[in-house]
């Protein structure tokens, strides 16, 4: 059975996702020794990827993050196509801003379940309440940042339902009480898991590790290989104070992509 990692990278005017993907592909090969396939609409000449699959992604949406004074554009739709596009029997799909700094993801390779995703996230700065709940009814959230699937009827159904949710996103946004823009893969996956599991909330597909999030408004600096310093602020006794944290050999979901680009520019 072939196993590999799938990354999606569609550049936007503000962020060079392909550059982040290339850097992360090297991290993945170093820690996981797995081939990486990139799905993109950019021309790729590097040999860092096992395969490059060209696809279109015309739909971009803007998202305004707390602590960031501009709208971030992203092209995140079409994630459901991972099932059809992957060249592997067993695939780990990662957001390109998921920084691999350990071999944690190898636990998914040996996981016998046909589909696995992260269902528990931790916020490094501990400033985001209800991180694992979404919509006005406080449904449990699945994070599409890390997904693993095998070619199987279960995985196919989950991605099919995810596609149906994406194509009817405004309906589901209205039904569950969340904003219909921007499109969120996390919300689509959460709803898809429930629908595909007999209309029940389930933790059946939960990854055996937590997702460690770095908020968009935080700062990340490279200390040395696989060691990062995260700077953030917290309100203590009604006073906003700066904090920093150094993490080593810990995978990070770095949502402040500006800093990722700076790290890549300064280290590669």
Partner 1 sequence: MLCAKIIWRKSLTVQFDRGYIIPAVNTNSTDYVQCARVLAKSIKYWHPTANVCLLTDALVDEPVFDLIKILPFGDQATNTQWKLSNDWQVFWASPYRQTIKLEADMLITNPIDHWWDILDKRDVVISRGCRNFLNQQSTSRQYRKAFDQNQLPDLYNAITYWRLSKTAQTFFSRVRHIFENWQIYRNALTGVDAEFADTDLAYAIAARIVGEELVTLPDSIDFPAIIHMKRYHNNCEAENWLDQLVWEFDRGNIRINTIAQEYPFHYHEKSFAKLVEPYYE
CA distance to 32, 139, 142, 190, per residue, from 133 (Å): 30, 5, 9, 10
Nearest to 252 by CA among 209, 206, 211: 211
Question: Which of 136, 153, 237, 266 touches partner 1 (CB under 8 A)?
Answer: 136
Dist CA 136 CA 140 (whole Å): 11
Q: Which of 12, 109, 111, 176 binds partner 1 (CB under 8 A)?
A: 176
Q: What residues contact residue 21 under an 8 Å CB cut-off, 6+ apart?
A: 7, 9, 38, 40, 96
The residue (of 125 and 197) whose beta carbon lies closer to partner 1 is 197
Using the contact rule CB under 8 A, the part of the chain among 17-25, 78-86, 137-145, 237-245 near partner 1 is 137-145
Only one of the segments 38-46, 111-119, 193-201, 246-254 lies at the binding site for partner 1 (rule: CB under 8 A); that segment is 193-201
Residue 157 touches partner 1, criterion: CB under 8 A: no
Binding residue count for partner 1, defined by CB under 8 A:
13
CB of residue 191 to partner 1, shortest distance in Å = 8
The answer to whether 7 touches 37, Cβ cutoff 8 Å, is yes
* Cα distance between residue 204 and residue 155, in whole Å: 13
- Please say whether the beta carbons of 46 and 55 come within 8 A: no
- Helix pair angle (169-176, 153-167), 10° resolution: 90
Q: Which is nearer to partner 1, 174 or 223 (CB)?
A: 174
Q: How far is the CB of 198 from partner 1 (least distance, A)?
A: 6
Question: Closer to partner 1 at the Cβ: 196 or 230?
Answer: 196
Q: What SS3 class is residue 256?
A: coil
Q: Is 198 in the site for partner 1 (CB under 8 A)?
A: yes
200 binds partner 1 (CB under 8 A): yes
Binding window for partner 1 (CB under 8 A); candidates: 56-64, 192-200, 231-239, 250-258? 192-200
Nearer to partner 1, 62 or 177 (CB): 177
> What SS3 class is residue 147?
strand
Beta strand 227-236 with 219-224 is: antiparallel
Instruction: Give the residue, chosen from 71, 201, 223, 246, that forms a contact with partner 1 under the rule CB under 8 A.
Output: 201
Interface positions with partner 1 (CB under 8 A): 136-139, 175-176, 191, 194-195, 198-201
């Amino acid at each position: 059975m072939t196993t590999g990692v799938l990354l999606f990278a569609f550049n936007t005017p503000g962020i060079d996702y392909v550059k982040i993907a290339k850097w992360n592909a090297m991290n993945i090969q170093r820690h996981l020794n797995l081939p990486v396939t990139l799905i993109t609409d950019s021309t790729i000449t590097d040999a860092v990827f096992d395969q490059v699959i060209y696809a279109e992604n015309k739909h971009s949406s803007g998202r305004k993050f707390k602590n960031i004074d501009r709208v971030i554009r992203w092209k995140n739709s079409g994630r459901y196509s991972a099932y059809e596009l992957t060249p592997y029997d067993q695939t780990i799909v990662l957001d390109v801003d998921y920084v691999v700094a350990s071999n944690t993801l190898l636990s998914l390779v040996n996981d016998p379940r046909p589909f696995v995703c992260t269902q528990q996230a931790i916020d490094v700065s501990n400033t985001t309440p209800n991180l694992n709940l979404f919509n006005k009814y406080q449904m449990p959230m699945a994070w599409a940042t890390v997904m693993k699937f095998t070619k199987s009827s279960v995985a196919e159904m989950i991605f099919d339902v995810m596609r149906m949710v994406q194509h009817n996103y405004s309906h589901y946004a209205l039904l569950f009480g969340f904003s219909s823009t921007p499109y969120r893969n996390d919300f689509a996956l959460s709803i898809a898991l429930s629908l595909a599991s007999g209309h029940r909330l389930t933790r059946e597909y939960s990854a055996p590790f937590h997702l460690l999030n770095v908020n968009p408004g935080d700062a990340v600096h490279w200390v040395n290989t696989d060691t990062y310093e995260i700077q953030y602020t917290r309100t203590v006794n009604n006073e906003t104070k700066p904090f920093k944290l150094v993490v080593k050999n810990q995978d990070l979901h770095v949502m402040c992509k500006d800093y990722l680009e700076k790290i890549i520019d300064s280290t590669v």
